[in-house]
Amino acid sequence: MWLSESNVKINKVSKPFIISAVVFVFAGSIIGSIWMMSLLGAEHFVFVHNSFSLHKTFQVDGFLTLLIMGIGYMIVPRFRNVQLSSSGLAYLSFTLIILSIVISTISAFSHETLLLPSNFVQFLGVSIFAGIMIWTLRIHPRLLRTADYFIGLSVVVLLFVSLFHVILAAAEIAEPSGDIGSGNGNIMSEVQMLMLFAVLMIFGVEYKTLPSFLGFIKPRRKLAMVSFGLGITSVILGISSMLYSEFLLAETFNVVLLGSVITFGRAVYIFGGFDNREILRVLQDERKARYSYIVRHLRLAFLFLFASIIMAAAFNIFGTFVLYDLAVHYAAIGFLGITIALYLPLMLPPITGRIVHFTKFNSLPLFLIIAALAIRTLGDIMMTSLQLDSINSASYAFMTSGWLVVAALFAFVTMIHRSMKQEEAINEL
pLDDT at 172: 77
Over 80: is that where the pLDDT of 222 sits? yes
Read off the pLDDT band of 386 (50, 70, 90). Answer: low
Proportion of the chain above pLDDT 70, given as a percent = 85
pLDDT at 300: 96
Read off the pLDDT band of 239 (50, 70, 90). Answer: very high
Q: Sign of the CA dihedral 123, 128, 132, 138? A: positive
Distance between start and end Cα atoms, the chain: 6
pLDDT at 179: 44
Options 1.10.8.60, 3.40.50.170, 3.40.190.10, 1.20.210.10; CATH for 14-350 is: 1.20.210.10
pLDDT at 2: 39
pLDDT at 387: 57
Over 70: is that where the pLDDT of 51 sits? no
Over 90: is that where the pLDDT of 202 sits? yes
Over 80: is that where the pLDDT of 45 sits? no
pTM of the model: 0.88
Q: Beta strands of 114-261 (E only): which ranges?
A: none
Cα–Cα dist 267/146, whole Å: 11
Over 80: is that where the pLDDT of 390 sits? no
Coil vs helix vs strand at 388: coil
Produce one character per residue of 357-393: b if its CB has 16 or more CB atoms within 10 Å, e if not. bbeebeeebbebbbbbbebbbebbebbbeeeeeeeee
Please answer whether residues 114 and 128 qualify as being in contact, where contact means their C-beta atoms are separated by less than 8 angstroms: no
Proportion of the chain above pLDDT 90, given as a percent = 47
Cα–Cα dist 26/22, whole Å: 6
Neighbouring CB atoms inside 10 A of 282's CB total 8
Cα–Cα dist 129/13, whole Å: 12
26-40, 123-137, 352-366: segment of lowest average pLDDT: 26-40
3-17, 21-35, 78-92: segment of lowest average pLDDT: 3-17
For the stretch 268-310, pLDDT in tens is 999 888 877 778 888 888 888 889 999 999 999 999 999 999 9
pLDDT at 170: 87
Q: What is the mean pLDDT of residues 62-70?
A: 91
Over 80: is that where the pLDDT of 232 sits? yes
